[in-house]
Structure 1
């Protein structure tokens, strides 16, 4: 009898522990999942130690402690105190700088990349301005907006008394923002004390007549099968060569006839041959034209780059 009672007690204890464990697992499963940020823009904060033709070498702390950056016409060079533009020729060795650049860099020592923005100098008071590109924004009833940067790690509130024309800020806008304190949450949240909306610069320039594509100030090397094609009211551009030079991994799935643009393990965009529906992160966007395959290359409408990847594209027949 004692053995039977002991067995019953043991089973009861095990069942109780199982219920508690299951409840804990259920509670964990119910917790919101915060995705890790995707760093489309990385930075190094330090000093310029060398300047060459269209290049700066920066030594400091950040994604890379030493980096050589090519400074194309599309890059911003800005004063850290007020966001005014600085000519490249005015840069000096020893200048304090926060250099912003994309994640695609060479494996050389030091690594090399393309500058997005250089925020130069040290303000007499307060923090230096910080570059950010707007991924999403939310309009509030009091006229303020909340802007989430493309890295998904900063959410900044901009009040109308700080920046009067908040309606001018849209997805894809590039800003220099100043703030005093940021929360430790993900994303970190802050309220801007000053904002400068940067002038629009085309990320991609296309010369239809010459058949050339300029990406961030650099002409892309196109193969004979990388064609530009006018289709109705749009221009079809070769997806692979542009996406790869933007730093994406381009993955073709022959079973579904889809192309994924991946940043690390995260799929940033998806196109399906013959379908006008495009994937943008976890959203679906419908465009007027579907991607097609010509000469073994995937062509997409220019709106894919503007509406899905939030890039600025300039298409013309004049001299680039």
Structure 2
């Protein structure tokens, strides 16, 4: 080893020893800090509560049906089967709409409620129309008219066409009808009740959910409006075979509670509320029969079979021989056949009423 390499080796060795000594010295100076207090467990301030399982979820489609839409304006153009209504309200999404007229459309005088003809409507006359919620995407949109009010005097309070959703009857005989127009009307002893185009006598007891009415509110009293008090109510022919309310707690048909045994209680399945077929049908005045030949359950009114279905079937056959697919397959529970509420409502042509 030459002299230069020896000197380098000595220097490196010396530096290493010095660094090692410094490290040891530093290590010897490290103090272990004592724990000042014992570690204690953190107590749970309150017991953990079990989260309750929510009730089964279901939806009744008939509770979401949209009512007819009220439109108004001047009859800008009158044709054989349609009227173009226009108004000057810039904030009205339907300031211009084509109203289609069919044989089912009622055209009534807004003051008397008596029928009118299309030929009686004058051009530029102000009209109020109640049209179906389904409209075309054309400009202007087109919709079918269920009812048109014409012959409207200036500053006249146009009556409201609505369907009754609920009826509240007081012990004093008072009646308040709630409608699908988000409006309630009090029917008093002074309210005139009249049928549409018949001589039938109408009583407050005949005002039930599903009934379509035309309501004139009372005139001003001492300069003030008697809000939501019906002066006159015109009652149209009933369009349903009855009405039903139902949830997991029970069923009522035409306002009467249906008595159910333990095996007949409603239940939710696959998003549907299932109801006992026999109990609902019998509450409506029908019979349930078993056809041994076809192995069908039949719902019968008198001698007529209204509809029939297989046990646990997914289809139903109506009186005219038409086959429909059910929203949910018929269920057999505890010896009882259950159908989805929406299927029972359609098949029996009844009105669903929220409880």
TM-score between the two structures when normalised by the length of structure 1 = 0.51
Larger-Rg structure: 2
2:221 equivalent to 1:172: no
Q: Answer yes or no: is the 8 Å Cα contact 2:126–2:150 preserved in 1.
A: yes
Match of 1:136 among 166, 190, 202: 166
Which among 187, 196, 211 is matched to residue 234 of structure 2?
196
Q: Which residue of 2 aligns with 1:161?
A: 190
Distance 1:124 1:307 in 2: 37
Unaligned runs of 5+ in 1: 1-36, 183-188, 204-228, 240-256, 260-271, 278-287, 293-297, 311-320
Cα separation, partners in 2 of 1:276 and 1:300, compared to 1, 3 Å: farther
* Structure 2 CA distance for partners of 1:95 and 1:200, relative to 1, 3 Å: farther
Q: 1:275 to 1:166 in 2, by over 3 A?
A: farther
Provide runs of 4+ in structure 1 moved above 6 Å.
236-239
Pairing 1:83–2:83 present = no
Residue 86 of structure 1: how far off its partner (Å): 1.1
Q: Does the aligned pair in 2 maintain the 1:176–1:196 contact within 8 Å?
A: yes
| Structure 2 spans left out of the alignment, 5+ residues | 1-63, 194-202, 221-226, 242-295, 301-305, 316-324
Shift of 1:98: 0.8
Residues 164, 178 of structure 2: 8 Å contact kept: yes
Deviations 1:239-279 (A, max 9, x none): 9xxxxxxxxxxxxxxxxx995xxxxxxxxxxxx431599xx
Between Structure 1 and Structure 2, the one with more strand by share is: 1
CA distance in structure 2 between the aligned counterparts of 1:275 and 1:115, rounded to whole angstroms: 40
Query: 2 CA distance for matches of 1:70 and 1:291?
Result: 35
Q: Residues 56 and 167 (structure 1 numbering): CA distance in 2 closer, same or farther, change over 3 Å?
A: same
| Alignment-derived partner of residue 247 in structure 2 | none
From 303, 307, 330, the counterpart of 1:274 = 330
1:140 Cα deviation after fit: 2.1
Q: Is the 8 A contact 1:78 1:84 kept in 2?
A: yes
CA distance in 1, matches of 2:208, 2:332: 24
Post-superposition shift, 1:231?
A: 4.2
CA deviation after TM superposition for structure 1 residue 41, in Å: 2.3
Q: 1:42 is matched with which residue?
A: 69
Q: State the SS of the aligned residue for 2:177.
A: strand
Q: Which residue of 1 aligns with 2:47?
A: none
Distance 1:106 1:145 in 2: 39
TM-score normalised by the chain length of structure 2: 0.47
